[in-house]
Amino acid sequence: MDSKRLAELLAQVQSGEASIEDALTRLRQLPFEELGDHARLDTHRSLRTGAAEVVYCPGKRPEQIAAIMKRLVEISGRALATRATQIQFDAVLQDIPGAVFNDIAGLIMVGEPSAPENPDVFVAVLTAGTADMPVGEEAALVLEWMGTRAERLYDVGVAGLHRLLANIEIIQKANALIVVAGMEGALASVAAGLVSRPVVAVPTSVGYGASLGGFAPLLTMLNSCAGGIAVVNIDNGFGAAQFAHRIVNCA
């Protein structure tokens, strides 16, 4: 239950459309709801944080993911799952015919993204290379799912700096940047040196052996000489989107 649905319920009680007993029955879902012996759905999260619970798919069986998403849709009308596979999506689709799968980002989505409260506010999502797109697209889609406009600028890494500078106008107009890069991860420092807005850096596991599965760009981003950078975990486009969404909406 989110704040909008709770307000509607309270208004129904106030008007007499719903009884106190009916309201109590619906509120018993708070703060969580047990689902079989494998999940406890945090139905209270949206009220606490402004963002509903999202299903993380790795480690879960396809039928578990399907059951969790089906119940989340029953509760709130929509659901989102990250790092999903085609097999996991097929299981969800059997129970929820309207489910949609983005195989680039590995996201399963049921329902419509939230409408942006302010369409003029946006986050620019930059990737250094095409190989970083899965993480960048995860970030962009999660932003849009939460109701923040995302502008995508992919394959603008430092190996061809003119590609980044050709987009300088939109980069400098953005309210925040998410910068996704593997290899040596230098794009975050370059971007942060061009803007006055916060930069969320996402190291990826893209790169040859010495990149150490993303540790090299992670350390580069943590040691950036440019100010205004926050760094999330390796390949964590979801976490970057959550952080950027909160920044631009708090502002």
- CA–CA separation, 115 and 11 (whole Å): 23
Residue 29: its pLDDT value, please? 60
Domain count, the chain: 2
Q: Is the pLDDT of residue 174 over 90?
A: yes
If you average pLDDT over every residue of the chain, what do you get? 88
Compute φ and ψ for 161, nearest 5 degrees.
-60, -25
How much is the pLDDT for 195?
Answer: 94
- pLDDT, mean of residues 81-85: 95
Regarding whether 105 and 126 lie in a shared domain, the answer is: no
* 19 is a domain residue: no
Same domain, 83 and 137: no
Chain segment 119-161, per-residue pLDDT in tens: 899 999 999 999 999 999 999 999 999 999 999 999 999 999 9
Answer yes or no: do 238 and 203 share one domain.
yes
CA distance 86 to 239: 22
- pLDDT tens for each residue of 94-116: 999 999 999 999 999 998 888 88
Contact criterion met (CB below 8 Å) for 233 and 200: no
Shared-domain flag, residues 62 and 143: no
Summarised one tens digit per residue, pLDDT across range 36-77 is 666 665 666 666 666 677 789 999 999 999 998 888 888 778
Tell me the pLDDT band of 118, cut-offs 50, 70 and 90: confident
Report whether 81 contacts 107 (CB < 8 A): yes
- Per the structure, the complete domain to which residue 133 belongs is given by 122-250
> How large is the average pLDDT for residues 74-96?
91
Of 78, 110, 142, the domain-final residue = 110
Same domain, 90 and 151: no
68: amino acid identity, one letter: I
Is the domain of 219 the same as that of 127?
A: yes
Q: What is the CATH number of the domain that holds 210?
A: 3.40.50.1970
Residue 133 in any domain: the answer is yes
Q: Are residues 84 and 171 in the same domain?
A: no
Task: Compute, in degrees rounded to 10, the torsion defined by CA atoms 154, 159, 161, 164.
Answer: 10
* Calpha distance 31→64 (Å, rounded): 21
The residue from 110, 136, 155 where one domain ends is 110
Give CA–CA dist 61/96, Å, rounded. Answer: 16
Is there a single domain that holds both residue 245 and residue 126? yes
